[in-house]
Structure 1
């Protein structure tokens, strides 16, 4: 049942879900110099699917891709895995509240503290291990993730939107 002005979504296909996750993972593998300023696209895609399809993408996927990110970044093993799993858990706890708001901008505002927490969870173990303070550009990452969220949300929901309104075609 949809209300006037809302669009009904088709079920998301598993191939599309996992394809977008692997595409986001591959984008994290691209050498763009020091990626301290870039938003964590993999986490954002995992959070999106964890909120919209929690039975398909959950804590195990977040933890597994976090371990892959640890290996890829040659960081402390478990650093990204812990951060991704905690962020996924908190996003799934706030799932109903996030889905209540149909606007990607409002969802992004609610997710901003989660993106800040991610940076903190990545900073603390990394600092304790290496005693190196990351550059100040890291503080821009949560803001960039907040700004990118509505666009990412639209891009991932677009294939699920129905092309036509079946209620106007159906004969009563």
Structure 2
């Protein structure tokens, strides 16, 4: 893949680190702080990140399994988070090549519709099953997730950053 000028060369992602971050994000969603409608979905954020940066390792099947796990944990309608995460991962993989050409703040703007669609799918399934409308604060969750995108990008790419120590045998 042709890199943008000035883009830093990254080391390969460690699979253990990918799964560790996914499990930590799932644990973050499972914290017993109460589920407020405006709270960001950390697992969705990390799933999109790894679907964009490592689409061969984290894909639609991974998103489906994590969605079922969140459904079981929250005792919500089985299949509420799974289709949302699956759709989110599919569209993240679809746009991953184009998305990586943009700067991180521009990427945050472009993943905002993905997060809004995922929350819309979850809300539609909940409403079709007879749930109550959580209020207009549910519209804040995708915006907060998009605002967290630059922070997540910096934190999750940190182990892959190559140390800047070029020598005559290794100019990159």
TM over 0.5: yes
Q: Report the equivalent of 1:25.
A: 26
CA-CA distance at 1:99 after TM superposition: 1.1
- Report the RMSD for the aligned CA atoms in angstroms: 1.7
Task: Report the Cα offset of residue 112 of structure 1.
Answer: 0.7
Distance in 2 of aligned mates of 1:50 and 1:2: 19
Q: 1:2: how far off?
A: 5.6
Matches within 5 A, 1:14-93: 14-93=15-94
Q: Which runs of 5+ in 2 are unaligned?
A: none
Shift of 1:134: 1.2
**What is the CA-CA distance between 1:3 and the residue it aligns to?**
6.0
1-side partners of 2:144 and 2:23: how far apart?
21
C-alpha distance in 2, partners of 1:17/1:131? 34
Which has a greater percent of helix?
1
Q: Using structure 1 for the length normalisation, give the TM-score.
A: 0.92
2-structure distance, mates of 1:109, 1:9: 23
Does residue 126 of the first structure (1) align with residue 111 of the second (2)?
Answer: no
TM-score, normalised on structure 2? 0.92
Contact 2:9–2:162 (CA<8 Å) still a contact in 1?
yes
Q: Determine the structure 2 residue equivalent to 1:137.
A: 137
1:78–1:100 Cα change, 3 Å: same
Q: How does 1:146-161 map to 2 (within 5 A)?
A: 146-161=146-161
List runs of 5+ in structure 1 lacking aligned partners: none
